[in-house]
Amino acid sequence: MNGSATHSGLAELKALSSIIQDAVKSIESSVIAQNADFPSLHTPMTPESEAARKLPGVEQATAQIVAAAYQLMQSARAPASTAVAVALQYTLCAALGVATTANVAEALTEAGPKGAHVNDLAKASNIDAAKLARVLRLLATNHIFTEISPDVFTHNRISSSLDTGKSVKDILASPKSKHDGTTGIAAVIGHVTDEALKTGGYLEDALFDPKIAKSYDPTETAFNLAFNTKLSAWQWLETPENAHRLTRFGLAMRGARQATSPDAILDGFGWKSLAQDALVVDVGGGIGSQTVKIAQNNAHLRFVIQDREPVTKDAAVFVSSEVPGALESGRIKLQPHDFFAAQPVKNAAVFLLRNIIHDWPDKESVQILRSLRDAAAPETQLVVVDNLMSYACEDKAEEGVPGAQLPAVPSPLLPNMGHAASPAYSADIQMLEFFNGQERTISQLRELLVQAGWKLVGVHRSPAMGASKAFAVPA
**Residue environment code for 78-101, b if the CB has 16+ CB neighbours within 10 A, otherwise e:** eeeeeeeeeeeeeeeeebbbbbbb
* Binding residues for ligand SAM (CB under 6 A): 234, 253, 284-286, 289-290, 307-308, 311, 338-340, 354-356, 359
Phi, psi (rounded to 5 degrees) for 293: -65, -45
Residue 335 pairs with which residues in a beta bridge? 306
Contact indicator for 242, 236 with CB cutoff of 8 Å: yes
Q: Is 337 a catalytic residue?
A: no
145 or 249, CB closer to ligand SAM? 249
| Closest residue to ligand SAM using C-beta atoms | 286
State how far the Cα of 180 lies from the Cα of 165, in Å rounded to an integer: 11
Least separation, in Å, of the C-beta of 367 and ligand SAM?
10
State the burial class of residue 214 (Cβ atoms within 10 Å of its Cβ: 0-12, 13-18, 19+).
exposed
354 or 446, CB closer to ligand SAM? 354
- Who contacts 77 (Cβ-Cβ below 8 Å, separation ≥6)? 85
106 or 307, CB closer to ligand SAM? 307
Least separation, in Å, of the C-beta of 62 and ligand SAM?
24
CA torsion through residues 82, 88, 94, 100, sign: negative
182 or 289, CB closer to ligand SAM? 289
248 closest CA partner among 306, 166, 175: 175
Least separation, in Å, of the C-beta of 368 and ligand SAM?
8
Least separation, in Å, of the C-beta of 101 and ligand SAM?
22
Contact indicator for 186, 159 with CB cutoff of 8 Å: no
15 or 311, CB closer to ligand SAM? 311
Question: Which of helix, strand or coil describes residue 461?
Answer: coil
Between the alpha carbon of residue 302 and those of residues 263, 305, 313, 405, 426, the distances in Å are: 19, 10, 19, 33, 35
Least separation, in Å, of the C-beta of 135 and ligand SAM?
29
153 or 339, CB closer to ligand SAM? 339
Contact indicator for 312, 335 with CB cutoff of 8 Å: yes
> Among 155, 191, 358, 460, which one carries the catalytic annotation?
358
Name the residues annotated as catalytic. 358
